[in-house]
Amino acid sequence: MINQKSKANFALFALAIIFFAVGVTEFISVGVLPAISKSFMITTSTAGLITTIYALGVALGAPILTILTAKFQRKGTILGAIIIFIIGHLIIGFATNFGEVIFGRLIAGASHGLLFALSPTIAAELVDESRQASAIAYIFTGFTIATALGAPLGTAVSTYWGWRVPFLTIATLGIVAWILNRVALPKQARKNVEISSIADQVKLILHPHVLLTLLITILGYGGTFATFTYLSSIL
């Protein structure tokens, strides 16, 4: 019979697969940007919206969707977010125009925000207090690996098989993640606790120390992604 620790480890692996899929789709835009630009006959800067809109989806999805799903069961919320993630990539993979690509990226980004908000909390609840930090670090390993592999994989696959294949592959990876989490996550996961309203969160964001931290993050990641997104064109 499978012991409790093994079940927890399997659940953490399932969550890590989510983070891997999310990480790949976040950085894959670097590799597919030139191909998308050529496919829809648009400028490289316009094609770069696949990164901008995705980031917007993440920024809006994390706080808003987390509040809207606060009273829902966590397992159901996670599975629902993965389904949205899959749908977003199917829209991209079968898009007939650039607008559909942007819409798919927005949906995928929103699900990304919700998945990142809930997964660490679930990971921490799967283990005892002494292992909580390592559990969260473990699921983020999936994202770390994706950070290194996302761009080169996207470039290689889009070069030989077209830019749609990477997104359809991510959709398939999302399906695998959904199945694993459907099986691995505890059925009796407790409901989300009450969280602050949007107004309370806005008030918190306007605190000088929080604003300074956000500004540092925005400038740091903004500069990094501005360069990273157009890396293929620069090279």
Domain architecture of the chain: domains with CATH: 4-234 (1.20.1250.20)
Confidence of residue 182 (pLDDT cuts 50, 70, 90): very high
- Residue 163's Cβ-count burial label (10 Å; 0-12, 13-18, 19+) is buried
Determine the pLDDT at residue 1: 43
Determine the pLDDT at residue 104: 96
DSSP helix/strand/coil, 87:
helix
Q: What is the pTM of this model?
A: 0.86
Determine the pLDDT at residue 230: 83
Nearest to 178 by CA among 99, 60, 105, 89: 89
Q: What is the pLDDT of residues 9-28, one digit of tens each?
A: 898 999 999 999 998 888 88
Q: In the predicted model, is pLDDT for residue 190 greater than 80?
A: no
Q: What is the pLDDT of residues 119-132, one digit of tens each?
A: 888 888 888 888 88
Residue 129 CB partners (closer than 8 Å, separation 6+):
none
Report the pLDDT averaged over residues 174-185: 93
Element (H, E) at 27: helix 4-39
Report the pLDDT averaged over residues 45-54: 91
Bridge partners of 73, per DSSP, are 191
CA distance 8 to 3: 9
Determine the pLDDT at residue 197: 66
Q: Across all residues in the chain, what is the average pLDDT?
A: 86
Q: In the predicted model, is pLDDT for residue 40 greater than 90?
A: yes
